[in-house]
Amino acid sequence: MFEVLLAAAGLTVAACAPLQGLMEETLGLRGEIIAGPVGYVGLADAPGCRVRLGGGDELGGGVFEIATKIDQALAAEGWRRDPSADADGAGATAAGYIRDNRRLTVTVERAEPEAGPYAVVLGLRASPAR
């Protein structure tokens, strides 16, 4: 059923495969693709897919270092940063990106602000119709 909703939104789970490859190339680990609702700041959840991965210090020296690596890789792929979707907190950072008719959220967080494993999630969804 969820595949039908994704297709109606112009996405398939395969749409996350390039993001999975980008994360593997950028961070050295292959994330898992999951279909499901994806949120975006100021918008209701919409059908989409996420690439999730977890890891330790092999990903980088902190949430901002990891986020910067992802930001640079996305910019090279034509994603435009959406400053209205940026958010930072203790041990976590989030950013939003827009390309074509798609929106992408990136979150990087740690179990504890200064320690513990990292969780990195890229969430892809279609932009709302105008």
- Give buried/exposed letters for 92-110 (b at 16+ CB in 10 A, else e): bbbbbbeeeebbbbbbbbb
Q: Is residue 59 part of a domain?
A: yes
Q: Is residue 100 part of a domain?
A: yes
Q: Is residue 121 part of a domain?
A: no
Q: Is residue 126 part of a domain?
A: no
Q: Which residues contact 7 (CB under 8 A, 6 or more apart)?
A: none
pLDDT confidence of residue 130 = 54
Q: Is residue 53 part of a domain?
A: yes
Q: Is residue 127 part of a domain?
A: no
Gap between the Cα atoms of 32 and 21, Å rounded: 11
Q: Is residue 130 part of a domain?
A: no
* Residue among 47, 52, 10 at smallest CA distance from 34: 52
Q: Is residue 128 part of a domain?
A: no
DSSP-based helix, strand, coil % in the chain, nearest 5: 30, 50, 20
Average pLDDT of adjacent 10-residue blocks, the chain of 130 residues: 45 87 94 93 91 90 93 97 93 95 95 86 84
Task: Tell me the residue range of the domain where 61 lies.
Answer: 2-38+46-116
**Single pTM value for the model:** 0.87
Q: What is the domain count for the chain? A: 1
pLDDT confidence of residue 12 = 75
